[in-house]
Amino acid sequence: MRNIRNFSIPVLLIAVFGFMLMGSNMPENEDKKSDMPENIKAIVDKSCMGCHNSDSRSEKAKAKLNFTTFSELEDVKKIKTLRDIVEVLDEKKMPPEKFLKMHPEKGLTEKEELELKEWAQKEAKAVLNK
């Protein structure tokens, strides 16, 4: 019995280490935003991904918009989502005030808001014209 325990611990450690190495080559959830320009990824990472991702605790935010799976949306849903992004930005609804009170550094600058809206409009047109 003692020999089996002595043998299984090193095997277990090797297996765990192997899985860790394999996992480091796996794409992160946020990498699914790869079709976004770098400046848009940076804005989304800073101000949106905290709530709008697959691991979010906010089921409501995740259901409305999930940037983790955004690139997988069907064209019609993607266009609607892009238009919704522009609408909530125009109405100054995102990021929400309650969130910004706790995380003021996550707010959008006017420039970031404009870049995000321009990207969403351009992307919606591109999807529409496929």
11-49 per-position pLDDT tens digit: 443 444 444 444 434 344 444 455 799 999 999 999 999
Average pLDDT, the chain: 82
CA dist 81 and 83 (Å) reads 5
**Lookup result for tokens 């906010």:** 58
Taking 50 as the pLDDT cut, the residues of the chain under it are: 11-32
Residues whose CB is less than 8 angstroms from the CB of residue 84 and which lie 6 or more positions away in sequence, other chains included: 64, 65
Query: What pLDDT score was predicted for residue 4?
Result: 52
Query: What pLDDT score was predicted for residue 6?
Result: 55
